[in-house]
Protein backbone atom coordinates (compact mmCIF):
# COMPACT_ATOMS: atom_id res chain seq x y z
CA UNK A 1 0.00 0.00 0.00
CA UNK A 2 1.16 3.51 -0.77
CA UNK A 3 -0.43 6.06 1.57
CA UNK A 4 -0.37 8.76 -1.11
CA UNK A 5 -2.94 6.72 -3.06
CA UNK A 6 -5.39 7.22 -0.19
CA UNK A 7 -4.66 10.83 0.77
CA UNK A 8 -6.78 13.39 -1.06
CA UNK A 9 -5.44 16.58 0.56
CA UNK A 10 -5.40 18.56 3.76
CA UNK A 11 -8.68 18.10 5.65
CA UNK A 12 -8.06 20.92 8.14
CA UNK A 13 -5.68 22.51 10.62
CA UNK A 14 -6.87 22.38 14.25
CA UNK A 15 -6.50 25.42 16.49
CA UNK A 16 -7.84 25.40 20.07
CA UNK A 17 -9.25 28.68 21.38
CA UNK A 18 -10.13 30.21 24.72
CA UNK A 19 -12.26 32.88 23.01
CA UNK A 20 -14.41 31.60 20.16
CA UNK A 21 -15.93 34.99 19.32
CA UNK A 22 -12.53 36.68 18.97
CA UNK A 23 -11.22 33.78 16.89
CA UNK A 24 -14.21 33.84 14.55
CA UNK A 25 -13.99 37.63 14.16
CA UNK A 26 -10.24 37.48 13.42
CA UNK A 27 -10.50 34.81 10.73
CA UNK A 28 -13.62 36.39 9.20
CA UNK A 29 -11.64 39.62 8.76
CA UNK A 30 -9.06 37.53 6.87
CA UNK A 31 -11.81 36.35 4.50
CA UNK A 32 -12.72 33.00 6.07
CA UNK A 33 -16.37 31.97 6.18
CA UNK A 34 -17.97 29.65 8.70
CA UNK A 35 -18.57 26.40 6.80
CA UNK A 36 -19.89 24.37 9.73
CA UNK A 37 -20.48 24.93 13.42
CA UNK A 38 -21.51 22.44 16.11
CA UNK A 39 -20.99 21.35 19.71
CA UNK A 40 -18.70 18.55 20.85
CA UNK A 41 -19.00 17.55 24.50
CA UNK A 42 -20.77 20.86 25.12
CA UNK A 43 -17.99 22.98 23.59
CA UNK A 44 -18.25 24.98 20.38
CA UNK A 45 -16.47 23.78 17.27
CA UNK A 46 -16.31 25.82 14.06
CA UNK A 47 -14.84 24.97 10.67
CA UNK A 48 -13.73 28.10 8.83
CA UNK A 49 -13.00 28.01 5.11
CA UNK A 50 -10.99 30.22 2.77
CA UNK A 51 -10.95 28.63 -0.69
CA UNK A 52 -9.32 25.21 -0.07
CA UNK A 53 -7.91 26.00 3.39
CA UNK A 54 -10.02 24.83 6.34
CA UNK A 55 -9.35 25.68 9.98
CA UNK A 56 -11.09 23.77 12.75
CA UNK A 57 -11.23 25.96 15.85
CA UNK A 58 -12.64 24.58 19.05
CA UNK A 59 -13.16 25.77 22.59
CA UNK A 60 -10.47 24.62 24.99
CA UNK A 61 -9.97 25.20 28.69
CA UNK A 62 -6.20 25.41 28.19
CA UNK A 63 -5.14 26.65 24.73
CA UNK A 64 -1.38 27.09 24.36
CA UNK A 65 -1.57 30.85 23.67
CA UNK A 66 1.98 30.92 22.25
CA UNK A 67 3.84 30.13 19.03
CA UNK A 68 3.26 26.48 18.15
CA UNK A 69 -0.39 26.69 19.22
CA UNK A 70 -1.66 24.69 16.24
CA UNK A 71 -2.86 21.41 17.71
CA UNK A 72 -3.08 19.15 14.67
CA UNK A 73 -3.03 18.79 10.91
CA UNK A 74 -5.71 16.52 9.47
CA UNK A 75 -5.17 14.68 6.20
CA UNK A 76 -8.26 13.84 4.18
CA UNK A 77 -8.28 10.15 3.19
CA UNK A 78 -10.51 8.06 0.93
CA UNK A 79 -10.47 4.94 3.14
CA UNK A 80 -9.70 5.49 6.83
CA UNK A 81 -9.71 1.75 7.60
CA UNK A 82 -7.08 0.97 4.94
CA UNK A 83 -4.91 3.85 6.17
CA UNK A 84 -5.36 2.68 9.78
CA UNK A 85 -4.15 -0.82 8.82
CA UNK A 86 -1.14 0.68 7.00
CA UNK A 87 -0.23 2.90 9.97
CA UNK A 88 -0.41 -0.07 12.36
CA UNK A 89 1.48 -2.45 10.03
CA UNK A 90 4.30 0.10 9.83
CA UNK A 91 4.47 0.70 13.59
CA UNK A 92 3.41 4.35 13.24
CA UNK A 93 0.45 4.23 15.65
CA UNK A 94 2.52 5.55 18.54
CA UNK A 95 -0.61 6.93 20.25
CA UNK A 96 -2.34 3.52 20.15
CA UNK A 97 -5.39 5.37 18.85
CA UNK A 98 -8.41 3.69 17.33
CA UNK A 99 -10.83 4.96 14.69
CA UNK A 100 -13.36 7.39 16.16
CA UNK A 101 -16.64 8.81 14.83
CA UNK A 102 -18.04 12.31 15.27
CA UNK A 103 -21.44 13.39 13.91
CA UNK A 104 -19.94 16.40 12.10
CA UNK A 105 -21.09 17.60 8.67
CA UNK A 106 -23.96 15.83 6.91
CA UNK A 107 -23.00 12.20 7.50
CA UNK A 108 -20.26 12.29 10.11
CA UNK A 109 -16.52 11.80 10.05
CA UNK A 110 -14.24 8.89 11.02
CA UNK A 111 -10.69 9.63 12.13
CA UNK A 112 -7.66 8.61 14.17
CA UNK A 113 -4.56 10.49 15.28
CA UNK A 114 -0.87 9.66 15.54
CA UNK A 115 2.06 11.74 16.74
CA UNK A 116 4.93 12.98 14.59
CA UNK A 117 8.59 13.13 15.64
CA UNK A 118 8.17 16.71 16.92
CA UNK A 119 5.11 15.87 19.05
CA UNK A 120 2.81 17.23 16.33
CA UNK A 121 -0.53 15.47 15.96
CA UNK A 122 -1.36 14.06 12.53
CA UNK A 123 -5.01 13.13 12.06
CA UNK A 124 -6.32 10.93 9.26
CA UNK A 125 -9.91 11.84 8.52
CA UNK A 126 -12.62 10.46 6.24
CA UNK A 127 -15.86 12.36 5.77
CA UNK A 128 -18.79 10.00 5.31
- Report yes or no: 102 and 39 within 8 Å, Cβ to Cβ: no
Which CATH superfamily does the domain covering 3-127 fall into? 2,3-Dihydroxybiphenyl 1,2-Dioxygenase, domain 1 (3.10.180.10)
Q: What is the pTM of this model?
A: 0.83
Element (H, E) at 83: helix 80-89
C-alpha span between 125 and 128 (Å, rounded): 10
Domain boundaries, the chain: 3-127
Mean pLDDT confidence for 11-21: 95
Residues above pLDDT 70, as percent of the chain: 100
How far, rounded to the nearest angstrom, does the alpha carbon of residue 86 sit from its chain's CA centroid? 20
Mean pLDDT confidence for 1-22: 92
Note the pLDDT of residue 40.
96
Q: How many CA atoms lie within 13 A of 40 on its CB side?
A: 18
Note the pLDDT of residue 45.
97
Phi, psi of 124 (to 5 degrees): -110, 120
pLDDT in tens, 64-88: 888 888 999 999 999 999 999 999 9
Amino acid sequence: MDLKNYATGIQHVGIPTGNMEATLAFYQKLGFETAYETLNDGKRVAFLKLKTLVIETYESDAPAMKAGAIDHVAIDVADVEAVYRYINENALNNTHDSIHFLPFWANGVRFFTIEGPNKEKVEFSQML
